[in-house]
Amino acid sequence: MHLTTGLRGGRYNSHAMRSNTENTTPALEAMKISRLYRSSGRGVSDVSISVAPGEVFGLLGPNGSGKSTLLRILSTAIAPDSGGFRVCGVDGLTEKRKVRARMGLMVDRPTHYDDLTGRANAYFFARAYGMEEAKAEGTLAELFDYFDLAEYADDKVKTYSYGMGKKLALVEAMAHGPEVLLLDEPSLGLDYTSQLAYQRRIRDLADEGVAILLASNQVDEVESLCDRAAFLHRGEVVAEGTPEDLISRVEGVRRIVATLRNPVEYGSLTEVGGVQRVVPERRDLILHCEERPGIVADVVAGIVRSGGDIVNLSVQRPNLEDVFVKLTGEALRDEV
Amino acid sequence: MRFDPPDAYWKKDVALFFSRRFALVLKMLYPIAIIVPVAASGMPAKYAAAVIGIVAIMAGTFGAGETLTSDLNNGILARVALTPLSPRKLVFQILAVNVVLDFIQLSPALLIVYVLNPAPLAWVLAATFSVFATLVTANSIGVFIANFTSSPADVLLYATAILFPLIYVSGFFRNQDPNGVLTLLRDFVPFAYMNDALKTVFGLATEATPLTIILYPTILCAVLVFAVCLTASHLLSPRF
């Protein structure tokens, strides 16, 4: 795996990126897209986003917020009830095959032909996207090597781990050199080294002018990788901007993360002076607090009074997750 | 021409067909195991023809229906459909490769039938073609069924509902001397032509000629294949 250069976070080049792309036609433009599933009533409503060439755009939202639905529509898998979208100027509703040819796609639950080898799967998709034989073989060899899959390329996919299957899906999405890349939870299930490799590749592709739309629940990933991000909540875009802009909305807020040995009734913590919000997340309690002297001690005392046994405590700067909580009053990730 | 790694959908199916060796042996042996004893038993021609016909129909319908349903359920076919490949061409490839692979499975057994029951070359060719046409029809039904099914059990249910009337009308067991509307309906089912051809191979005279055995099923199959390819957009859409 090639990790000789450091990861360049999207946050650090977003201004340069915007100045490069401000006056260009969007590579991907979704206009007032709505689609509701009759069975559940969920979906997306009036969603408009635009991704410029060379831009990495993050879609954040809890499960069921509409991220995957939006990606399904933009990948031409399903049609919207209303609205439309364009990919590199091509209408996504009337010229589906042209749009598909310009796009790379990784779905949230990648599947493959299990009885074929990883190489055969990737080669099949590369050729389906119109790659020439020699170019497909060369590009795939490079990508298999990059994602540490070369050793397993000739193994049947049914022997692959979940993470290997995800990496194979990334190879399939990138191999044909798409102009727009749609990725649904791409890093979920990847080991740390693979995540770094994948993130570096995404930045490299963006530098080459590829527009990337990334749906994720991983706040750190979106913060470090994306030039802009949008929050989806119950099918609607509730905020959009650069990660810095979004985080600036919770200026003056500190987050205290307390990892507890046991679940506690945390309602009384909101009565501690300066505590704005308490959000449980797995074994953690996340408290959004005003910056004031002594607040950490007061929070610890409150947790202890509630019967909580603190095994870890940290005070952090706010992140995108806090912005989402502030905007919606709900947690970004599912409670466990 | 290389099949592995595959550069087309049909080559992928061929590669998969030959990659599962144990399954391949079973697939090649089971038609022989059923058809050869029937052909060698000296049972009445109409029943021998019916048994072979049923094997061809079942192999075609269930093979295509179950494979497609399984690929649609796990999402891989929907993913393939999101490549720039033409959905109709994709469905045509699915259909064509399934028919040819089914035909390869049945060919050794058919060859043994012809050796055990020598018939004029024209009838051998007509019977062989009629089996092929039956496989086209059966696979078309299988692909059509996959538009509505969500599990292999559904395929069995839907296929039974569709095939029983068709088998009845074709005169495999009942309706051997059809009258009125049944005569007209029989003319529109390719299985009936195979039944006539195989009966002739087994020595039972019918009113059919090798030309009619080849001509009418060709027209019927062309219409069926066209109709099934029209379902491509629905068939290849994601299942939720």
Query: Does residue B62 lie in a domain region?
Result: yes
Looking at the structure, do residues A103 and A41 belong to the same domain, yes or no? yes
CB distance A275 to A287 below 8 Å: yes
Q: Take residue B140 and report the two structure tokens written for it.
A: 């078309």
* Alpha carbon distances (Å) from A85 to A31, A60, A67, A94, B80: 6, 20, 15, 10, 21
CA distance B15 to chain A (A): 8
Q: How far apart are CA A164 and CA A132, in angstroms?
A: 25
Alpha helices, DSSP H only, in A160-294? 162-174, 192-207, 219-225, 243-248
Nearest Cα residue to A50 out of A19, A26, A17: A26
Instruction: Indicate if A95 and A168 belong to the same structural domain.
Output: yes
Q: Does A79 touch chain B (CB under 8 A)?
A: no
Strand partners, A182: A105, A213
Mark whether A183 and A303 lie in a shared domain: no
Shared domain check, A282 and A167:
no
pLDDT value, residue B240: 65
Q: Quick check: helix, strand or coil at residue A265?
A: coil
Q: Do A264 and A232 sit in the same domain of this protein?
A: no
In a domain, residue B2? The reply is no
Domain count, chain B: 1
Judge whether A322 lies within some domain: no
A29: domain range? 10-245
Q: From B149, B184, B136, B191, select the one nearest B168 (Cα to Cα).
A: B191
> What is chain B's pLDDT, residue by residue, as a tens digit (240 residues)?
777 789 888 998 898 888 888 888 998 999 999 999 999 988 899 999 999 999 999 988 888 888 888 888 888 999 999 999 999 999 999 999 999 999 999 999 999 999 999 999 999 999 999 999 999 999 999 999 999 888 888 888 999 999 999 999 998 888 777 778 888 898 999 999 999 999 999 998 888 899 999 999 999 999 999 999 999 988 988 776
pLDDT in tens, chain A (336 residues): 433 333 334 444 443 444 444 556 899 999 999 999 888 888 999 999 999 999 999 999 988 899 999 999 999 999 999 999 999 999 999 999 999 999 999 988 889 999 999 999 999 999 999 999 999 999 999 999 999 999 999 999 999 999 999 999 999 999 999 999 999 999 988 999 999 999 999 999 999 999 999 999 888 889 999 999 999 999 999 999 999 999 888 877 888 999 999 888 888 888 898 898 888 887 889 898 888 889 999 999 999 998 989 999 999 888 888 888 878 777 666 543
Identify the CATH number of the domain in which residue A274 sits: 3.30.70.980
Q: List the single best residue of A87, A116, A139, A179 to mutate versus B (max B Cβ within 10 A).
A: A116
A128 Cα to chain B: minimum distance (Å):
6
**What was the pLDDT predicted at A23?**
53
Give the CA distances from residue A222 to residues A172, A306, B228, in Å, rounded to whole numbers and listed in that order.
Answer: 22, 34, 44
Residue A312 C-alpha from the chain's centroid: 27
Amino acid letter for position B238 = P
Q: Report if residue B99 sits inside a domain.
A: yes
Contact A84, A91 (CB under 8 A): yes
Structural domain includes residue B1: no
Are A240 and A258 contained in the same domain? no
Residue A25 domain-assigned? Answer: yes
| Cβ atoms within 10 Å, residue B172 | 24
Total domains in chain A come to 2
Q: Is B16 on the interface with A (CB under 8 A)?
A: yes
Separation between Cα atoms, residue A217 and residue A322, nearest integer Å: 13
Q: Which residues contact A176 (CB under 8 A, 6 or more apart)?
A: A104, A125, A126, A129, A130, A131, A139
Nearest to A236 by CA among A64, A75, A105, A106: A64
Tell me, yes or no, whether A176 lies in a domain.
yes
Q: Give the pLDDT of residue B20.
A: 82
Question: A224 and A313: one domain?
Answer: no
Query: Under 8 Å CB-to-CB from B124, ≥6 apart: which residues?
Result: B114, B201
If asked whether residues A167 and A260 sit together in one domain, one would say: no
CB-nearest to A100 from B76, B82, B238 is: B82
Task: Provide the CATH number for the domain around residue A224.
Answer: 3.40.50.300
For residue B3, the chain A residue with the least C-alpha distance is: A120
Nearest to A113 among B7, B12, B238 (CB): B12
Q: Residue B87 in contact with residue B175, Cβ under 8 Å?
A: no
Domain membership of residue B184 (yes or no) is yes
Indicate the DSSP class of residue A34.
E
pLDDT at res. A18: 44
pTM (global) more than 0.90: no
Which of B13, B72, B83 is the mutation pick for testing A, counting most A CBs within 10 A?
Answer: B83
Q: Which of A245, A260, A284 is the last residue of a domain?
A: A245
Dist CA B52 CA B32 (whole Å): 10
Q: Is residue B4 part of a domain?
A: no
So what's the pLDDT on residue A204? Answer: 96
- Whole-number Å distance between alpha carbons of A60 and A332: 8
What residue type is B90 in one-letter code? L
Does B24 touch chain A if contact means CB atoms closer than 8 Å? no
Q: Do A278 and A216 fall into the same domain?
A: no
Q: How far apart are the first and last CA of chain A?
A: 35
Give first-to-last CA distance, chain B, whole Å: 37
- Min CA distance, A237 vs chain B (Å)? 24
Q: Check if A141 contacts B (Cβ < 8 Å).
A: no
Distance from CA of A121 to the nearest CA of B (A): 8
CA A164, CA A213: separation in Å to the nearest integer? 22
Same domain, A307 and A176: no
Nearest CA in chain B to A108: B75
Q: Are both A31 and A114 inside the same structural domain?
A: yes
Sheet holding A284-290, edge to edge: A275-281, A284-290, A253-260, A310-316
Same domain, A221 and A266: no
Amino acid at A151: E
- How far is it, in rounded angstroms, from Cα A95 to Cα A116? 31
The residue out of A209, A225, A245 marking a domain boundary is A245
